[in-house]
Amino acid sequence: MTVFDKSMVQEQFYTSFGRCYSMILPQEVQELEVTSITMTLRMEAYVFPHHPGQYLHRDTKDKLPVELGRYFFIATNHKVP
């Protein structure tokens, strides 16, 4: 099942990180128990998985460097409050 709408993505700009995107899932989507997220990037980037309220927290050191032309997989488990 694919459930996605561009309105779920919030763009922000930070001087230290540059352009950042947050995925804000509606409650009805969260209740579907999201099991995976697939992204296609057009440039190299770092992906920082975190839950709401964790951004810029000391735990945000978890990151996945993404290189063009390569596939990456990360297993993580977040409980959204």
Q: What is the reported pLDDT for 2?
A: 58
- Which element (helix H / strand E) includes 64? strand 64-66
Per-residue pLDDT reduced to its tens digit, 27-77: 887 787 777 778 888 889 888 777 666 666 655 567 788 888 888 877 766
Say if CB 78 and CB 49 are below 8 A apart: yes
pLDDT (average), residues 8-14? 83
* Full-model pTM: 0.61
Residue 16: pLDDT band by 50, 70, 90 thresholds?
A: confident
- Identify the pLDDT of residue 17: 73
Phi, psi of 8 (to 5 degrees): -80, -10
